[in-house]
Chain A
Amino acid sequence: MKRLVPMLLAACAFTAPAFAQLRITITSGVTDPIDIAIVPFVRVGTADPLDVAEVIQRDLESTGRFKGMPRADMAALSKPTSAAEVVAAEWKQLNNDYVVVGRVTSQPDGTVRIDAELVNVLTGLRISGPYSIVAAANIRNGAHRVADALFEKITGVRGAFATRIAYVSVDGRPPNQRYELYVADSDGANRVRILASPLPIMSPAWSPDGEWLAYVSFERRTSAIFVQHRRTGKKTMVSARAGINGAPSYSPDGKSLLLTLSGSNGNLDVYLLDLASNQLKRLTDDPGIDTEAVMSIDGTVYFTSDRSGNPQIYRLTPGSNERPKRVTFTGSYNARPRISPDGKQLAVLTQDGGSFRIAVQDLANGSVQVLSKGNQEESPSFAPNGAMLIFAGRQGGQGVLQTISTDGQISARLDADAGEVREPVWGPFLP
């Protein structure tokens, strides 16, 4: 026996095939973006001036994971309109990883079809697509859908370009400000005003199906919560109770609304409102300020509370008798929680040094990363694929909307609205 073991061990050492090869371990990579060339799409029979390739390029670049080839650099190359026409070598020579080609064809029934193909010029062998999107009236939306498909094919993450955002826009200078509520495409284009008021509008929130917006409006001189249908504009007042009505947010099933009420004694607490029965359920009872509640996909409610002195994020389970548990321990001010769609990450407004910034916390291990770099940032909101955040920042003394990837790699500014904009919320995936 004594001699058997070493022999076996020696045998085991010789496990590889009986010819030689070299073993190498790779332990890191680079965070460089993927180089992608999106060749201008050819138009067939349509006079629509929209530059689909440009919409796709801006979408992909906004995520920080792609770098589009500048049009000027394409000048000397052929302009393929299908994968078969792509000469991989000439695109590879210019350091591209992928090439996207396509066409926009108007159909007899008035719709427009967008065909796109993706070529991997590195391997020269892999072709994906064609992605064919039929856009009725909104070619821009079709372009976003193509970008979604390309993004998912290359990164494995579902794209969130064909989605909507809502935000508040403010006109005029204090004390004579006017307030408006807008819905727009995720890149800020195609904005539609859905409410205007001389008194403040706050805290818009999307229903899970993207059909309704809940918000706080002071149009009745004191705060009240309304829900409004995005398309029809139908508006319903859901809470105008004495005192403060604030911070509405939908449960994941869309049947309840978390909201903040103060009653007449002015003490803010979190409640859950059943929209069908109008029944209220009290969730917090604490002399501190408890507000800004949101519900995660697993039913946990996260909210801001200053019961420990300064605002921090707490969580509770509705229906449980347990006391709320504190979640944030980094820094002396953490407020306005938002949970990622997969329930794993918490975005907050945090005081970082002397500045207010957006941070993301991993709910499993508690690690915190401050993502943004400005001074006066607030209102983070996750994209429905959890890969990006939109938030409000300040540039040149003006409120602006910014997107940032959840690893903090890239930040982009939406320049759809030149005015003072704030409180962006990212809507859900659209059917």
Chain B
Amino acid sequence: MPPNKKLTQFRWRGYALSILLHSALVAAAVYGWFTWKHRAPDVDTLAIEGSVVDERVLKSIAAMPEAPPEKPPEPEPAPVPEPEPEPVPVEEQGPPAPDPAELQRKEEERLELEKKQKEEQEQKAAQELKEREEAERVEAEKQAAAKAAEEKAAKEKAAAEKKAAEKKKAEEAAAAKKAAEEKRRQAAQAELLKSLEAEERGNAARNSSEAARWKAQIAAKIQSNWKLPVSARAGVECNVSVSQIPTGEVTAVRMGGCNVDDAALRDSLQDAIYRASPLPPPPPGVPFERILELTFKPQ
């Protein structure tokens, strides 16, 4: 079987793998770029909620110390009670003779006064109670309003928080995604580097001084067998693939192409390689290479 065919098969596999890897890398790069470019935009707009609020409530709210929304609202200072209505001053009567009727009358008057006072007190108490209740009611209202406002603020705060949290979450998600991308990229790069390193190790074996010497030996033997044609001038460059078997015998020569169209030049290269066959074997420690890629570049 013509030796060239084997070479062809190998060559096609290698090319396929290479194309695949390249496509994967390029696709990853493009995807990551696209994602970064089209991340979700920042959430800037807030809905405005409105309600009628008592000025006093606002004032009290304004009087409230600036506190972080998480802290519970400070206890309200006790409401300043309304000044009690001054009791009607009881006129002091001088000690008149006590008339039993008069006394009784006086008693009755006293009792009535007392009753009246009591009534008044009761009234007052009731009034006070009422006022207290009123105050309390107002207070409660105030508190309720305050609480409402609090709650509203809290709600708003929560909403804002939520939005912020969402934003953060989105950002984090994006960041996480980005990080994941990055990780993937880095993973791919690490893979790449790993395979490169593997190749490097192979190359290291090849690029060791022993390997370099072997390459030089091959080059020298081919050089000493290359009978230069007229057209082998500086600037001319040709690539040739050579297949050899472990004895060094050349089994196939494939012209890769020259930067000039010259049949005599190509023939001279082929002749040179066959004339140099068998090629020098690799020294111990250097792996045998079946395929040699030669570049002819006369100076």
Query: Chain A: residues with CB nearer than 8 A to chain B?
Result: 1, 3-4, 7-8, 10-11, 13-34, 97, 120, 122-123, 126, 154-157, 387
A34, B297: Cβ atoms closer than 8 Å = no
- B17 with A17: CB separation less than 8 A: yes
- Considering only residues 68-110 of chain B, those with a C-beta below 8 Å from chain A are none
A17 CB contact (under 8 Å) in B18, B188, B265, B292 = B18
A98: nearest chain-B partner, CB-CB: B271
Q: Which residue of A lies closest to B202 (CB)?
A: A20
> Does B263 lie within 8 Å of A10, measured CB to CB?
no
Contacts of B272 in A (CB 8 A): 29
Complex CA gap A120/B267 in Å reads 10
A154 x B29 contact (CB < 8 A): no
Binds A, one of B46-54, B57-65, B130-138, B192-200: B192-200
How many chain B residues have a CB neighbour from A under 8 Å?
Answer: 61
Docked CA distance A281–B294 (Å) = 58
A32 lies within 8 A of B227 (CB):
yes
Q: Which residue, of B188, B189, B274, B298, has the highest number of chain A Cβ atoms within 10 A?
A: B274
Which of these, B18, B215, B275, contacts A18 with CB under 8 Å?
A: B18
Which are the 6 A-B pairs with shortest beta-carbon distances?
A17-B14, A156-B264, A29-B226, A29-B228, A18-B17, A122-B274
**Residues from chain A with Cβ under 8 Å of B290 in the complex:** 21
Complex contact A4–B292 (CB within 8 A): no
Q: Tell me if B154 counts as interface (CB < 8 A to partner A).
A: no
User: Is B167 interfacial (CB-CB < 8 Å)?
Assistant: no
Which residue of B33, B265, B268 is within 8 Å of A4 (Cβ)?
B33
CA distance A24 to B280 in the complex (A): 14
User: B149 interface residue, CB < 8 Å from A?
Assistant: no
Judge whether B153 is part of the interface by a CB distance below 8 angstroms. Answer: no
Complex contact B227–A33 (CB within 8 A): yes
Q: Which of B10, B13, B219, B262 contacts A24 (CB 8 A)?
A: B219
Task: Give, as a whole number of angstroms, the nearest-CB distance from A100 to chain B.
Answer: 16
B29 touches A8 (CB 8 A): yes
Chain A CB within 8 A of B67 CB: no
Looking at the assembled complex, report how far the CB atom of A411 sits from the nearest CB atom of chain B, in whole angstroms: 18
- Determine how close the nearest CB of chain A comes to the CB of B288; give it in whole angstroms: 10
Q: Which B residues are CB-close (under 8 A) to A4?
A: 29, 32-33
- B11 adjacent to chain A (CB < 8 Å): yes
Inter-chain contacts of B21 with A (CB < 8 A):
14, 18
- CB atoms of A123 and B196 under 8 A apart: no
Residues of B within 8 A of A25 (CB): 219, 294-297
In the complex, the chain A residue whose C-beta lies closest to that of B292 is: A22
Cα A25 to Cα B216 in complex, Å, equals 9
B271 touches A26 (CB 8 A): no
> Interface with A: B121-129, B140-148, B229-237, which one?
B229-237
CB pair B231 A156 closer than 8 Å: yes
Q: Which residues on the B side are within 8 Å of A33 (C-beta)?
A: 227
A27 and B234 alpha carbons, distance in the complex (Å): 9
CB distance from A386 to the nearest CB of B (A): 10
6 A–B contact pairs at CB < 8 A? A7-B29, A11-B25, A22-B215, A22-B292, A23-B295, A123-B271
Residues on the A chain within 8 Å of B232, using CB = 29
Nearest CB of chain B from residue A330's CB, rounded to whole Å: 22
Q: Is the CB of A155 within 8 A of B230?
A: yes
Are A30 and B18 in touch, CB under 8 angstroms?
Answer: no
Q: Is B45 an interface residue, CB under 8 A from the partner?
A: no
A156-B263 contact given A19-B10, A26-B223, A30-B226, CB 8 Å threshold: yes
List the A side residues contacting B224 at CB < 8 Å.
Answer: 30
User: Are B289 and A21 closer than 8 Å at their CB atoms?
Assistant: yes
Q: Are A97 and B195 in contact (CB under 8 A)?
A: no
- Contact, CB under 8 Å: B189 / A7: yes
Set B225, B275, B289: member contacting A22, Cβ < 8 A: B289
Task: Tell me if B15 is interfacial: C-beta within 8 Å of chain A.
Answer: yes
In the assembled complex, the Cα of A34 lies from the Cα of B189 at a distance in Å of: 52
CA of A320 to CA of B29, assembled, Å: 64
Q: Are A24 and B199 in contact (CB under 8 A)?
A: no
Q: Tell me how far the C-beta of B264 lies from the nearest C-beta in chain A, rounded to whole angstroms.
A: 3
Interface centre among A7, A14, A22, A156, by most chain B C-beta atoms within 10 angstroms, is: A22
Contact yes or no, B226 A10, CB < 8 A: no
Question: Which B residues between 169 and 185 are near A, CB-CB below 8 angstroms?
Answer: 182, 185
Residues from chain A with a CB closer than 8 A to the CB of B13 are 17-19
**Max chain B C-beta neighbours (<10 A), residue from A24, A34, A155:** A24
Q: Are B271 and A97 in contact (CB under 8 A)?
A: yes
B22 sits at the interface (CB 8 A): yes
A119 to chain B, nearest CB (A): 13
Contact residues in A for B231 (Cβ distance below 8 Å): 156
Please give, as numbers and ranges, the residues of chain A lying within 8 Å of B25 by CB-CB distance. Answer: 7-8, 11
Partner among B196, B219, B265, B289 whose Cβ is within 8 Å of the Cβ of A14: B196
B204 at interface (Cβ–Cβ under 8 A)?
no
